[in-house]
Every structure is written in structure tokens, then in C-alpha cells.
Amino acid sequence: MSAYFDDLVSFIIETAFKRFCTYAPRHNPILKPLYQRLLARGKAKKLALTVLMRKLIVLANHLLKNPAFALAA
């Protein structure tokens, strides 16, 4: 595959991931308390979103390794 295609796929995934992370703090019952806790500690909103992105990546990797993994709501 070409480098253009790889860059395009990366851009699409990154954009979708960032968009999800901007909506997650308002609607996701697992990530909302984490986001609010970070803001209450005085963290910047951009930093709190970065923490959410990392948390989602870790959860997704764990889910891929262990399909029986279930998130507690």
C-alpha cells in the first residue's frame, strides 16, 4: 500500500477517536466521572481529554487480548 493510503487511514482513525473523546465525558457513564475528577483537581481540559484517550486505548487493547473482558458500569 502507498504511504498516502496509510496516512489517510491514520487521519480518519485519529479524527474519529478525537471526536469520540470529546463526546465521551458528557455521555459515557464510565469516563464521565474520571473527566470530572480530573477537572476538579485543576487539570486543563485538553489534558483531561488526553487522559481519556489513553484510557480508551488501554481498554480497547485489553478487550482485544481478552474477549471475555466486561466493563463494569
Give the tens place of pLDDT for each residue, 3-35. 877 888 888 888 888 888 888 888 888 889 999
Contacts 24+ apart (CB under 8 A), 20-29: 20/56, 21/49, 21/52, 21/53, 21/56, 22/49, 24/52, 24/56, 25/49, 25/52, 29/73
Give the tens place of pLDDT for each residue, 41-70. 999 998 998 899 888 888 888 888 887 877
For the chain, the domains span 3-65
**Residue 35, C-alpha cell as written in the block:** 473527566
Query: CA-CA distance, 69 to 64, in Å (whole number)?
Result: 9
